[in-house]
Amino acid sequence: MVVGQDGAVTGGDGYGDDVGRRSDTEVAYEQLFHGHFGAMTRLAAMLGADDPEDVAQEAFVRLHRRTGVLRDPHSAAGYLRTTVVNLTRSRQRHLSVVRRHRPAAPDDVASAEQHAVGRESGRELVAALTRLSARHREALVLRYWLDLTEAEMAEAMGVSRGTVKSHVSRGLDALAALMEGTR
């Protein structure tokens, strides 16, 4: 058995499927796609991906190779979340380099009314979220949007549960500080 770093090769698992006949894993894959594609695209968007649908598509293509994972819908959902988190983080690194060379956009000029009504609006909070570190943002999105448990978050982020707790706590502190700074 040869196993690759990306886990794509797992002892030939599933490669013997008959051509022309849909296997159980293909059926499972389609069900997973229709059940989770929207959520994975939204997750990528919330994590700041510049092309969230492309990230979600790539995650599903990778899942397609993992026939062993496909047999367990719970594992498959976890695998998808982890892949979306990793892909988004990886792409953001490239994106940040590009942004560094781009002139800063002028601040939006908001009306007095907008200031009065929307100072602490949801949009402002989400905007503040984009200023957090990738890890803090991941932790807060996984916790407060997907309502994942610490164990599920640890799996998705590739860190220990203790580290998850730390990122959530520090992320909330940082978010509160940013919101405080806008007052």
Partner 1 sequence: MSQQIEDRLRSALRAEAEGVRLSTDPWQENQRRVAAATSRRGLRVLGIAAALLVVATLVGASALLGGGGSGMPAGGSGDPFSSEALLGPPVEAETLTVDGEQTVHTIVLSDMTGKGPNLCEQYATMSADRGSGDSSSGSGGCTPRDEAADDPAVAFDWLMGTEGGGDIRGVTAGVDSRVATVRIWMDNGDMVLATLHPTGWDDTRMFALTTQPPDAPTAQRLVASGRDGNVLQAVDLAASFGDDWLPARRFCQGDEQGQWPFPGSGGPEDVAISFGRTDALVSGSAGITPACLERLSSTAIAGRTTFGEVVIAVLAPEVELVRVVDRDQLLQERVVAPAQGSPWKVVVVRGLAADVQARAELVALDAHGIELDREFLSQPSSP
Q: Which of 47, 52, 66, 152 binds partner 1 (CB under 8 A)?
A: 52
Binding segment for partner 1 among 71-79, 102-110, 111-119, 143-151 (CB under 8 A)? 143-151
- Which one of 114, 149, 169, 182 is in contact with partner 1 (CB under 8 A)? 169
| CB-CB contact of 30 with 24 (8 Å) | no
Number of residues near partner 1 (by CB under 8 A): 61
* Measured torsion, CA atoms of residues 134, 98, 39, 28, in degrees rounded to the nearest 10: -110
Verify binding: residue 159, partner 1, rule CB under 8 A: yes
CA distances 105 to 12, 39, 129, Å, are 51, 30, 18
Map the footprint of partner 1 across residues 67-86, applying CB under 8 A: 86
Give the integer Cα–Cα distance in Å for 55 and 85. Answer: 9
Three-state DSSP class for residue 50: coil
Interface with partner 1, residue 134, by CB under 8 A: no
How many whole angstroms separate alpha carbon 43 and alpha carbon 80?
A: 10
Is residue 10 classed as helix, strand or coil in its secondary structure? strand
Minimum Å gap between C-beta 52 and partner 1 is 7
175 interacts with partner 1 by CB under 8 A = yes
Determine, following the binding rule CB under 8 A, whether residue 102 of this chain makes contact with partner 1.
Answer: no
Start-end of H helices in 20-160 = 24-46, 52-65, 67-70, 73-100, 112-118, 122-129, 134-144, 150-157
Residues in contact with partner 1 by CB under 8 A are 1-12, 15, 30, 33-34, 37-38, 41-42, 45-46, 52-53, 56-58, 60-61, 64-65, 86, 89-90, 93, 120-123, 125-126, 129, 140-141, 144-145, 150-151, 154, 159-163, 165-166, 169, 172, 175-176, 179
